[in-house]
């Protein structure tokens, strides 16, 4: 006997509820990994229990899944830390990530041309993540190393990405913390911020002095995906803060050409 319309509605509601519960469970499971950072590289069970608010049985179950998968490791008397699977996955990204493979030789050429540190960054969540670095000088050491993230407002590599966000995205970020925009030198009001970022977009590159690392100059240009959405940045960090405007403009144009070369290499690899 086929179910009537009322029964079908109930079945759909049950299925939707079960699907929603499954999604929430996956989000909670993966959310445990977000606990681990530079300030908190290890967590014991009770501290996680307090932070996450799970039941003891749920947390035990999630931790078993993550440790069995190698995403977490447990140490008697110490608790949990990120596991060996993370290292394995990181190596796989280094050798196979299309963006890194496309950008690495170009970054090497740039650092041979200019004594500097070259950074390849991706937009990630509400910030910027460094995914690769090349260096040809020991006069400067960028503290924005692979795997580290920083806000969209700090430094040329971040602000050049910020300049290409949609008006809606920019408005949301500004409303969350207008003071941070002012401190970053981007403007005291949203219209002023938009004007500054428009200049960056039209120029095609951006530079900052001692914005993140003291005593250095950073020059960056944006990278885009196939849909022309900003996805990251390519930058050079130079020792010293005495580069002339002409030198900075020349570097900016060179980086703009380099970012187009990265996009071409990505397109050919598809």
pLDDT tens, residue by residue, 125-177: 778 888 999 998 887 776 677 777 888 888 899 999 999 999 999 999 999 88
Q: What angle do CA 111, 93, 120 make, to 5 degrees?
A: 30
CB 133 within 8 A of CB 142: yes
Reported pTM: 0.79
| Average pLDDT of the segment spanning 10-35 | 62
Residues 115, 147 within the same domain: yes
91 found inside a domain: no
228 found inside a domain: yes
Other beta carbons within 10 Å of 225: 12
251 found inside a domain: yes
245 found inside a domain: yes
Residues 112, 240 within the same domain: yes
Residues 46, 116 within the same domain: no
Instruction: Return mean pLDDT, the chain.
Output: 85
Residues 105, 31 within the same domain: no
Which of 52, 86, 120 delimits the end of a domain? 86
Beta bridge partners of 232: 122, 223
Q: Using one digit for the tens of pLDDT, what is the confidence trace for 221-252?
A: 999 887 788 899 999 999 888 889 999 999 99
Residues 72, 148 within the same domain: no
**Domain CATH number, residue 47:** 1.10.10.10
- Burial, 40: exposed, middle or buried (Cβ in 10 Å; 0-12, 13-18, 19+)? exposed
**Domain CATH number, residue 166:** 3.30.450.40
What pLDDT sits at residue 8? Answer: 41
Residues 18, 151 within the same domain: no
Q: 210: closest CA among 170, 243, 251?
A: 243
Instruction: Select, from the ranges 14-18, 199-203, 224-228, the one with the highest average predicted confidence (pLDDT).
Output: 199-203
Q: Which domain holds residue 55?
A: 5-86
Residues 233, 205 within the same domain: yes
What pLDDT sits at residue 269? Answer: 59
92 found inside a domain: no
What pLDDT sits at residue 12? Answer: 46
Percent over 90 (pLDDT), the chain: 51
What pLDDT sits at residue 270? Answer: 55
Residues 106, 214 within the same domain: yes
Residue at token pair 């890194």: 100
Residues 57, 170 within the same domain: no
Residues 45, 75 within the same domain: yes
| Domain count for the chain | 2
Q: 110 Cβ partners below 8 Å, 6+ apart? A: 116, 118, 134, 236, 254, 255, 258
CB 132 within 8 A of CB 107: yes
What pLDDT sits at residue 5? Answer: 53
Residues 57, 132 within the same domain: no
64 found inside a domain: yes
């Amino acid at each position: 006997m086929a179910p009537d319309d009322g029964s079908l509605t109930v079945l759909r509601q049950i299925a939707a509820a079960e699907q929603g519960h499954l999604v929430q469970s996956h989000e909670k499971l993966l959310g445990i990994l977000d606990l681990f950072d530079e300030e908190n590289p290890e967590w014991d069970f009770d501290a996680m229990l307090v932070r996450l608010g799970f039941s003891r049985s749920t947390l035990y179950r999630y931790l078993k899944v993550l440790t069995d998968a190698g995403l977490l490791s447990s140490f008697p008397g110490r608790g949990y830390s990120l596991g060996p699977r993370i290292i394995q996955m990181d190596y796989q990204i280094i050798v196979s990530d299309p963006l890194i493979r496309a950008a690495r030789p170009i970054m090497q050429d740039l650092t041979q041309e200019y004594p500097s540190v070259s950074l390849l960054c991706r937009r990630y969540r509400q910030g910027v993540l460094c995914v690769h670095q090349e260096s040809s000088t020991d006069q400067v050491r960028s503290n924005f190393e692979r795997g580290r993230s920083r806000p969209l407002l700090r430094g040329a590599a971040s602000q050049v990405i910020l300049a290409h966000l949609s008006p809606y995205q920019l408005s949301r970020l500004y409303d969350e913390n207008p003071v941070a925009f002012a401190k970053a030198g981007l403007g005291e009001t949203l219209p002023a911020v938009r004007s500054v970022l428009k200049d960056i977009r039209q120029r095609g590159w951006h530079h900052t002095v001692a914005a993140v690392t003291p005593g250095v100059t950073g020059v960056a240009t944006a990278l885009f995906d196939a849909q022309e959405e900003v996805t990251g940045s390519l930058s050079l960090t130079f020792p010293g803060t005495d580069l002339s405007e002409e030198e900075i403009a020349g570097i900016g144009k060179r980086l703009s050409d380099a970012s187009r070369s990265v996009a071409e290499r990505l397109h050919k690899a598809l």
